[in-house]
Amino acid sequence: MTPDPDRFLADLHALRRFGAAGVGKGVVRPAYCEADVAARAWLAERMAEAGLAVRYDPMGNLFGLAEGPSLLLGSHSDSQPEGGWLDGALGVVAALEVARASRAAGGPPVSVVSFQDEEGRFGVTTGSAVWSGQLSLAEADRLTDHAGVALAAARAPMAGLAGAFVDPGRFTGFIELHIEQGPTLDSAGEQIGVVSDIVGIRDMRITFDGQQNHAGTTPMHLRRDAFQGLAAFNALLEERFRNVVTPRTVWTIGHVALHPNATSIVPGRAVFSIQWRDGDADRLGRMEEILRATAVEVAKARGLQVSFGAMLGLEPVAMDARLRAALEAGAEQVAPKRWRVLPSGALHDATNVARLLPVAMLFVPSIDGISHAFGEDTAEADLVAGVRVLAAAVDRLGRA
């Protein structure tokens, strides 16, 4: 089967129009926003044109279903609040192209998916978490975004489109093409990464409550400043994590809300996200113990109250050997000696789908390793190499 590079690239650019923003090829298309819903409608039309049966489930996951048992290919079409044009979109459009190419060549049946809220407006890979049964729809509905909007309210405008959840039993496996979102392939001048495993993640919100007060009259030693609590917590944590982490371990305080966030007011409240990732579940657990104890200790020393939100998490997962071997063979065919096996530090829907089906993933390089930023990009030749490897693997699996 032969994917059409021009049609594939044209579709990728067409999808970027929904939520196009910022400099370069930036995209703002968080789950359930107007641009996300419009992008899904556009994808649904392309799926129908490709002879696939279109189905939205109650979460807003969008499937293009081939008849009978099939491989499932895809990724997500929602974006970060400031994202690039390829994170997720590449895997969905490549899936569509391979489905079309396979059908034209009489190859194996291919279904396509765009999962909803992979980027975690409401949680962590929420759409595929619900589809794979990690999270019930009722639990998901109660999740809120940073603005306090509940998922139930956000998905309501899509309710009219929703059919039943798709039975995973109709799929024989799942393959996701994605950008690497890191520097490894780009700096080595390689074209393809075949993923060995995906890290695990823990993610929670922590709140420090102190005393809101006048910034001019409150002596320093009498303050119960929630921001200073957060700052002290961060510094201590950096020190304590040093004994536990490996070069692959990462942790991030990425969202902070101070109340009332005003120049002349001692902050009375700090609410912040903390997220940590590693390939080893035990290490994730040790880090949790350390950060909880550190937050309690800092709060006590500074007269603050600390509270911990619900912890969201995904376990580390290894890729399926048979699917991975098909990708490795495809990589050697399309990009001889210009590929490698590597782990994924980014999360993907594949982690959730692995609960149900054999899964595998492949990466193409991210220029300068930039992603989750408007500047995210990949050379056209590498995008095309990615779709070719995906097609070659599907071909091989169809013959096996």
Structure-block tokens of residue 166: 């798709």
Query: Residue 347 binds which entry of Mn ion, ligand HGY, none, with Cβ cut-offs from 5 to 8 Å by kind?
Result: ligand HGY
Size of the site for ligand HGY (CB under 6 A): 5
What Å distances lie between residue 196 and 132, 234, 327, CA to CA?
21, 32, 11
The maximal CA–CA distance of the chain, rounded, in angstroms, is: 78
In the complex, minimum distance from the CB of residue 378 to ligand HGY, in angstroms, rounded to a whole number: 15
Could you tell me which residues are beta bridge partners of residue 313? 202
Give least dist CB 84 to ligand HGY, A: 10
Give the residue, chosen from 101, 195, 298, 347, that forms a contact with ligand HGY under the rule CB under 6 A: 347
Structure tokens at 213: 């007060």
If binding is defined by CB under 6 A, does position 89 make contact with ligand HGY? no
54 binds ligand HGY (CB under 6 A): no
Please state the closest distance from residue 385 (CB atom) to Mn ion, in A: 19
Window contacting Mn ion (CB under 5 A); options: 65-73, 79-87, 223-231, 390-398: 79-87
Q: Which of 30, 60, 74, 88 binds Mn ion (CB under 5 A)?
A: 88
Q: Smallest distance, Å, CB 119 to Mn ion?
A: 5
Q: Is 87 in the site for Mn ion (CB under 5 A)?
A: yes
Nearer to Mn ion, 214 or 337 (CB): 214
Here's the x/- map for ligand HGY, 137-156, by CB under 6 A: it reads as --------------------
Cβ atoms of 315 and 279 within 8 Å: the answer is no
| Identity of the residue, 299 or 314, whose beta carbon is nearer to ligand HGY in the bound complex | 314
Distance CA 363, CA 383 (A): 9
Residue nearer to ligand HGY on the CB measure, 192 or 198? 198
Whole-number minimum distance, CB 280 to ligand HGY, in Å?
Answer: 17
Tell me which stretch binds Mn ion (CB under 5 A): 48-56, 62-70, 85-93, 287-295. Answer: 85-93
Q: Mark residues 105-134: x for contact with ligand HGY by CB under 6 A, - for none.
A: -------------xxx--------------
Instruction: Pick the closer one to Mn ion by CB: 88 or 182.
Output: 88
| Ramachandran area for residue 283 (φ above 0: left; ψ -120 to 50: alpha; else beta) | alpha
372 is known to lie in a ligand binding site: yes
Cα–Cα dist 285/292, whole Å: 11
Between residues 88 and 279, which has the closer beta carbon with respect to Mn ion? Answer: 88
34 assigned binding-site residue: no
Nearer to ligand HGY, 203 or 328 (CB): 203
List residues binding ligand HGY (CB under 6 A).
Answer: 118-120, 346-347
